Chains A and B, each alone.
Chain A
Amino acid sequence: MLSQEKLNKVQEIIARYPEGKQKSALIPVLHLAQDVFGWLSAETMDYVASLLKLEPIEVYEVATFYSMFNLKPVGKYLFEVCQTGPCMINGSDDIIEYIKQKLNIGVGETTPDGLFTLKTVECLGACGYAPMMQLGKHYREHLTKAKVDQIIEECRKNAGILN
């Protein structure tokens, strides 16, 4: 369950909206929960419903609508590679192929060590800096195979330090 600090944050978010409109806090609170738990299990969604005094179904229908919410566990590092027009023009297909080979996984799959998940996404608004991917909070842009190698290396290193 969420720490007191996070629960305070939830209250702070609810206070942004008029009295009785705490449902508006749903998406921000789901983000917060996903940041803590890594993905949104049914238990987590039920918990969020109780925090905001909503019916669980109100949370499920929102969580299933938005593409950023992970409804099953993902790897520690989630590679979300854009494949829409402007990225495709700049070679995103090759980048996706390369990551698949390099990590030996398909799109939507996670490496056996639980470190990496590969997803393809639609336009993330970095068209001038294509090809690109989202990694956590930030974008990695102007991707090349060498840069992908570097990013994977960097993730492995960070994971090692954290372990």
Chain B
Amino acid sequence: MSVKLLLEKAHVEGIRSFDVYRREGGYRSVEKALKTMSPDAVTEEVKKSGLRGRGGAGFPSGLKWSFLAKPEGVPRHLVCNADESEPGTFKDRYLMEFIPHLLIEGLIVSSFALGSHATYIYIRGEYAWIPDILEQAIAEAKNNGFLGKNILGSGFDCEIYVQRGAGAYICGEETALIESLEGKRGNPRIKPPFPAVKGVWDRPTVVNNVETLAAVVPIINMGGEEYAKIGVGKSTGTKLISACGNINKPGVYEIDMTISVEEFIYSDEYCGGIPNGKRLKACIPGGSSVPILPANLLLKTAKGETRYMNYESLADGGFATGSMMGSGGFIILDEDQCVVKNTYTLARFYRHESCGQCSPCREGTGWMEKILKNIDTGKGKMSDIDLLWDIQRKIEGNTICPLGDAAAWPVAAAIRHFRDEFEWHVNNPQESQTRNFGLAHYADPIYVPA
């Protein structure tokens, strides 16, 4: 039985309007928090809930909130990270498009907890139609006394503003986002100081993902302890997964993190299996930067245990045999897909998106793209594979922000698990242009459902 805390009402007719959302129980968490709780008590509930950042890093949200510096007389800000740009990820878009008031409600409660009187939603520029939806929701909330001055007579004032980016994956990194919000290039800052101490306009700032802030609503409504009972271990609550690639039912699903990867892929409630009776070759389970896994390691861990859709299970085995939950961007590759080509497109993406500040990332991503393109188009050398491995190793951990790691990991994992496919490309430059490697060689890892 699946639990839905975020998307339960997403398909109610007219849920984008304040009246319908309110009728369906919306904005109760604002009433509860502002009328009966102190800001610290709200933070305490978020801590108890075990909520982890839904943008990709999975850092405990309540803990992040508790780091916020509160010097006397200095304004603080909450910034909502809606710069969703990780390939494979489109969950925040779904949430904002279909149930915008849930985000606004979460933002009001979170702003109250953090003492933010001016809260900003930084949304990727390409989602150009969504600011209108959000601004409409903000205006409605304001007209109904849930935003603006003295909200619900509590004495708490809050405004929410929507800011559009203009095409830069890097602005999903919180310090780059802050730079962009200040009207600058999206170059990540060196940490420390962390945003919690010195963020936007040098003021203490919390940056949280859309889904994270939306999850504050059920947490306050049901209480942190109840929320923590959903899910398993340190994977509490529900998670939005955006599923894409070779599956019958691509889309956004809310899961409670107790289901197995196999169930998620093959059950009709979720992805509905792979089209045209094809077999499962590989999967990138948490957005393009997390390690790709071949089918055999995806459905079962190296120890032969069932793998589940949660933070711990997806990471089981480390990077040697596991991957990561990441942003929840779940990309499936069937037997006809080429891992070399897929890795090339991702390397191209990271080269395009590198801000250029750190040499290992600026130069390394360009090199990786060129080498992968050569291998993909039949011009590769056997030594290129080791060269790629060497380059990705020299990027990882050597950059100001995690974009370097994000660019290195997919290349490393592709070579780690599919080295023979790379070699086959080098050895068969002609044939590799017309035929896929998988069919001939992946009889074992390719998964056939029972």
Residues on A lying within 8 angstroms of B by beta carbon are: 16-18, 21, 23-28, 30-31, 52, 58, 61-62, 65-69, 83-86, 88-90, 121-130, 134, 136-138
Q: Say whether B167 faces chain A, with CB atoms less than 8 Å apart.
A: yes
Q: Say whether B164 faces chain A, with CB atoms less than 8 Å apart.
A: yes
CB atoms of A68 and B349 under 8 A apart: no
Distance from A135 Cβ to chain B, minimum over Cβ atoms (Å): 11
CB atoms of A31 and B164 under 8 A apart: yes
Q: For A61, give its contact among B86, B89, B167, B185 (CB under 8 Å).
A: B185
Instruction: Return chain B residues, CB-CB under 8 Å to A84.
Output: 87, 288, 345-346, 348-349
Contact with A along B316-346 (1 / 0, CB 8 A): 0000000000000101010001000110011
Bound complex: CA of A61 vs CA of B89, how far in Å? Answer: 29
Bound complex: CA of A123 vs CA of B355, how far in Å? Answer: 16
Q: When A and B form their complex, what is the total count of cross-chain residue pairs whose Cβ atoms lie within 8 Å? A: 145
Instruction: Return chain B residues, CB-CB under 8 Å to A27.
Output: 125, 163-166, 180, 183
Bound complex: CA of A128 vs CA of B75, how far in Å? Answer: 40
Which of B58-66, B143-151, B245-253, B389-397 lies at the binding interface?
B245-253
Which A residue sits closest to B410, measured CB to CB? A85
Which A residue sits closest to B90, measured CB to CB? A125
Which B residue sits closest to A89, measured CB to CB? B245
CB atoms of A65 and B168 under 8 A apart: yes
Bound complex: CA of A85 vs CA of B330, how far in Å? Answer: 12
CB atoms of A134 and B182 under 8 A apart: no
Known: A66-B166, A67-B166, A125-B124. 15 other contacts (CB 8 A): A24-B181, A24-B183, A24-B201, A27-B165, A27-B180, A62-B184, A85-B87, A86-B244, A122-B87, A122-B169, A123-B88, A125-B126, A127-B250, A128-B250, A138-B128
Residues on B lying within 8 angstroms of A by beta carbon are: 75, 84-90, 93, 118, 120, 124-129, 161, 163-169, 180-186, 201, 242-246, 250-252, 284, 288, 329, 331, 333, 337, 341-342, 345-346, 348-349, 352-353, 355
Instruction: Return chain A residues, CB-CB under 8 Å to B242.
Output: 127-128
B124, B245, B284, B337 interface centre (most CB from chain A within 10 Å): B245
CB atoms of A127 and B166 under 8 A apart: no
A-B contact pairs, 5 of them (CB 8 A): A66-B186, A85-B331, A88-B342, A126-B90, A130-B244
CB atoms of A137 and B180 under 8 A apart: no
Which B residue sits closest to A136, measured CB to CB? B128
Instruction: Return chain B residues, CB-CB under 8 Å to A21.
Output: 182, 201
Bound complex: CA of A61 vs CA of B180, how far in Å? Answer: 12
User: A68-B125, A127-B329 known; A85 and B182 CB under 8 Å?
Assistant: no
Which 4 pairs from chain A and chain B are nearest by CB? A66-B166, A67-B167, A128-B250, A26-B183
Bound complex: CA of A52 vs CA of B346, how far in Å? Answer: 37
Which B residue sits closest to A31, measured CB to CB? B164
Distance from A120 Cβ to chain B, minimum over Cβ atoms (Å): 10
Instruction: Return chain A residues, CB-CB under 8 Å to B183.
Output: 23-27, 52, 58, 62
A84, A85, A126, A129 interface centre (most CB from chain B within 10 Å): A85
CB atoms of A28 and B164 under 8 A apart: yes
CB atoms of B88 and A127 under 8 A apart: yes
Bound complex: CA of A18 vs CA of B76, how far in Å? Answer: 12
B126, B165, B183, B329 interface centre (most CB from chain A within 10 Å): B183
CB atoms of A62 and B185 under 8 A apart: yes
CB atoms of A127 and B90 under 8 A apart: yes
